[in-house]
Structure 1
Amino acid sequence: MTAVEAFDAVDLIRTKRDRGELSTDQIGWLVDAYTRGYVADEQMSAMTMAIFLNGMTRREIRDLTMAMIASGERMDFSGLGKPTTDKHSTGGVGDKITLPLMPLVAAFGVAVPQLSGRGLGHTGGTLDKLESIPGWRAELSNDEMFAQLRDIGGVICAAGAGLAPADKKLYALRDITGTVEAIPLIASSIMSKKIAEGTGALVLDVKFGSGAFLQDIERSRELARTMVELGEDAGVATSALLTNMSVPLGLTIGNANEVRESVEVLAGGGPADIRELTVALAREMLALAGRPDEDVEAALDDGRAMDTWRAAIRAQGGDPDADLPVAKEQHVVTADRDGVLVRQEALPFGIAAWRLGAGRARKEDPVQHAAGIDLHAKPGDAVRQGQPLFTLHADEPARFARALEVVEGAWAIGDAGDEVHDGGPLIADRIGR
């Protein structure tokens, strides 16, 4: 005999369409019924559009998140005997912060289970970057992950298929129905995976500006506040930094070149903005894990973080001393006059790196690890005529024309004293207890 369903999908769609609230039981049933295929994609598409247009209450978003967690397994790191803390970034251009951050925090005896993803579109994926290291592998079993957290303190790897499978199905649907930007759906998507991952503390790096997922700072602030509330409601100590993605982070955009820059930071050098954000996020992570007084900058400068990085790369089959791939071709763009670089917009440079081969248009596309852009100047820097401003790297020279096309008008040289368009301070706000 066929089981009788508790609710009817059309009734629930009508409720949300007409700005009503769904009950805890209705949301739980909807997520479960969609995951097992009873609720059709067409019906869930209608529901996601209704949520996009009409929003959800804090209680509804919490119920949606918990229902997505309940669709799969939940990890437990309590057996490690040390606190766990993680970071999630909403993504941007040149955002390689996870690479130096994980070993820096792990160097203080706090476990960092950093389950990461691959890039799609103009935002790079942490796993794609690390796979430019010869031999390094992203796929680890749960036992391998636990062993690495116990022995080394940190791991960056792919999330298993068992974590929040409802989110995976819903994310793919949002991508093709124009509902990706709905804050209740973004927040529940990110937080269902992070809470299911089992971390005790979580710091969110929520971007705003031209290269960010949500460009408007107030929308980004709303997302940050929603995710912090979700974390706290689920018993995970959570805070968020609102950070500026108006210009690319650091001086590299790509995969192998971003690994090179991350290693420079771990060696005590690297661009000032990468170091500033890495240190700020590390302090947040350690404070939430009960270690607020650690000297974070000292661990970058004395080699402790570098030692943890090298051990973690080796543990996943990589060679930290191996040469990283270099592109076959390069194209240098130089300054056409003396002056000051007053503008360098993140989004066009991110799209240019993607067109060079550093990103993918579809999930199954390969990335070219050597492709990308090296920046030789940032907004506010004085430049001389003929000085290199940025270098494009690609294996196929035919890619340069389309990359140059998208950055045309995305940078500008002005005179000393002209306004510099950099979006303001790197860290705009902190949200959390």
Structure 2
Amino acid sequence: MSEKSRAERAQHLRERLNNELNRMSLDQCVKCTICETSCPVAAVTPLFSGPKFVGPQAERFRDGDSVDHSVDYCSSCGTCSVVCPQGVNVAELNSLARAVMKAEHGVPIRDRIITQTVLMGQAMTPVAPLANAVLDNKLARFAMEKVVGVHRGAPMPTARTQSLHTWLKKRPAPAKAPTRGALVYFHGCAGGYFEVDAAKKAIEVLEHLGYEVLVPPQGCCGLAEQSNGLFEQATKSVRALVKALRSAGTDLTIVSTAGSCTGMLKHEAHEILGLHDTELADVGTRIREISEFLMELHEAGELPTDFEPIKQRLPYHAPCQLKSQGMGTPAFDLLRLIPGLEVVDSNATCCGIAGTYGLKKEKYDIAQAVGKPLFDMVKQTEQGLAACDTETCRWQIENSTGVRTVHPIVLVHQAYGLGAVTP
């Protein structure tokens, strides 16, 4: 990108940030420091002085000047926005400020590479055994850290030999005819390529409940691109995804096992990317995270609870991406409906990974320090299994504890007698 193009892009993002500040007056911030004391990153490193200092407070004095690099140490977990008693969207403001900074100084190649999750899945699936062997090789990981900047100890996805859509094409028709009508399933990049088994189980649970499950071809939601300051690419990704999901029907409920991607469609694309499309608003109001959807059925008296017992103590972590959606912790409530299952809430703020944040070599140690209370809790509580709603958080927990970590729908699938938890 030329210097002129970079300057124009930075100016455009600076205008967007200023508009956001005008819409959401900085005077709403009363310097109560609740966001500072709740920030998991500021608690473990002096490199990030806290969401208020780099956000609302710093913006009062920038007056068009360049954004300080310290804002890049914000993990975008969203905790500050959730706890703010004045309703200031602190995390969103900081994400915009980071995008301005990256537009001014450029985005590292590493940050561009790690956002291409669909491309990774398409490339790794045909050579899954080889891809997994490379990612498990210490020498290869050392080289990746030196050349690309992805830490050698960071969690990596596991490639599968079959994508979800390949499985859908080859599977026999469901034995049970639908009795409740159709809905759309959004699996996210991980469900399409790396956590195919959890996506299969979600589809089978929904079919067991009597739904016809429509799974249109779908790409990335753009969340990783957005969190790395690549707003133009993220905008293209989310608009393409919205079009794909709407292609299956514009009056159907959309159910997803990709909790953070669901949040992108409900919240981030609007509040951070500044998209106000009618189509996005439509999808955002119709989409439900799968545990949220099942608990809505339960509250309406429409969820069968003839669960088989699962006698196990299960540590459960509610990711910050889910908490920021204001839905409570539906998976925790759902899992507690299963007889014999003792579900222990981690009560941890964040696992530290924050999408791609904890993959980066300069942020890996920070991510590990943020997640340590959670890792300790899981190791003290587990009986061979843990549960968490979002993909990268599961990979982070499993990588840092050695405890297998699954999506809650995997346990619901077992409780309905549809199959045991598989390795």
- Which TM bucket (shorter chain)? under 0.3
Return the index of the structure with the highest Cα Rg. 1
TM-score scaled by length of structure 1: 0.27
Identify the structure with the greater helix proportion.
2
